[in-house]
Structures are given as C-alpha cells and as structure tokens.
Structure 1
C-alpha cells in the first residue's frame, strides 16, 4: 500500500507540474485547446492571472515531491497529508465555484492518494 500511496502522490505532483506548465507557459496556445468553455478573447487578457495560478500549482507539486524525498517517516507522512489536503481543498473549491470537472481532475486523485497514505 505504501508503493501505491507514493505512486498516487507522484501522479498528483506530475499533474500539478502539467498545470504549472499550462498556466504559466502555454496559456494562450494549449490553454485554448484545454479550456474550450473559456472565451477565446480572454486568454491574452488573463495571461498574468493564469501564470500566477500556475505558480501556486508549482508550489503544490514541489511540496508533494518533497514529501516523497523526506527520510523521516513521520515528517514524510505529515508533509504529504498537508500538501494533499491543500490540493483537495483547492479542487473542491474549484469544483464549487468554477467547473465541476475540477473535482475529478484535481480533488479525486488527491483524495485517493490521501486514503492510500492513511492505509499504508
């Protein structure tokens, strides 16, 4: 179960690195293909806002990667719980305020990782 938890944490971290790239560096290109319900004329206007969001996603990814590298078991678990909790809260908030699919893309993988970690 520990390996499954680590794989899920790694998946969530990779997902947030992808979101970082999308929002910081590809907002006006790949972003248009990904967020089809967003008005096309707003991508250029919201480029700096998206980059700011991407930076926060990078911090989440960094924390999750850090949790995988910590040798002390108690610290590793606590840091993973914290960052997974942040992802879950962000995913729930996004699902409630922006788009329901955010729950499935962001919050659900983090919930599964948290449960796997709890049972590891």
Structure 2
C-alpha cells in the first residue's frame, strides 16, 4: 500500500510541476492562457507576477513531496511520510480552497486534489496499520 501511495504522490508532484511550468514560465503563452481561461494577452501580462509567484508554491509542494518519496525509498520512512503528508496534504488543501471559493472551477480543483488525496489516504492507512 505504501508503494501505491507513493506512486500517487509522485503523480501529484508531476502534475504540480506542470502547473508550476504553466504559471511561472509559460503564463503568457497560448496553452497557459487556454488552461486558465485568460482571455487576452493584456490580461496575461497584468496577472503575470501573481501567477509567477503562485507557480512557485506549486513547485515547492512538488519538491517536498518528491523529497519525501526519496526519503521513504532510502529507508527513512518517518521523515519521508512526514514530507509526503506535508506536500500532498497541502495540495489537497489548496484544491479544496479552490473548489470552495470558485465552484465554477470544480474540474480544475478536483484535478489538482485527486492524486494527492489518494496518496494521503493510502499513506495514512499504511502508517496507522503499521505498514511502514
């Protein structure tokens, strides 16, 4: 169960790395504008610094989760699980904030929180059952 939890954590981290790329690197490009519903180049330029900063939040959550996966694999399950819970748990929380604050963005929120939620639930079951 730990392995499956870590696979989902890895998928969540990859998704958040992609979101980082969209927000911090490709924000004014057509893919990011389409993904986030930015209607004009002017709007993209106006919101660029906000998106740039937000992208780094996603990067840091992904990095914490990846380091946690590596720690578990390297034989430090307590440190690793703690980092995965912090990184993936924050991804779930951010997805819930988006869902509750902007119900029209439910699809994006559920996409953002699905992988990390599965990871957190499975990892919690593994920890509580003594499987780590």
Please report the TM-score for the alignment, with normalisation by the length of structure 1. 0.91
In structure 2, the residue matched to 1:9 is: 9
1:79 to 76, 83, 90: 83
1:25 matches 2:29:
no
Cα deviation for residue 118 of structure 1 reads: 1.9
Structure 1 gap segments, 5+ residues each: none
Q: Which runs of 4+ in 1 moved over 6 A?
A: none
Contact kept? 1:92, 1:102, Cα under 8 Å: no
In structure 2, the residue matched to 1:91 is: 95
Greater shift in the superposed pair: 55-64 or 1-10: 1-10
Give the SS at the match of 2:14. helix
Max Rg structure: 2
In structure 1, the residue matched to 2:129 is: none
Q: How many residues align?
A: 119
Aligned partners of 1:93 and 1:111: how far apart in 2? 14
Structure 2 gap segments, 5+ residues each: 127-132
Aligned partners of 1:22 and 1:2: how far apart in 2? 30
Greater shift in the superposed pair: 16-25 or 64-73: 64-73
In structure 2, the residue matched to 1:53 is: 54
Cα deviation for residue 83 of structure 1 reads: 1.4
Contact kept? 1:16, 1:57, Cα under 8 Å: yes
Please report the TM-score for the alignment, with normalisation by the length of structure 2. 0.83
Cα deviation for residue 35 of structure 1 reads: 2.1
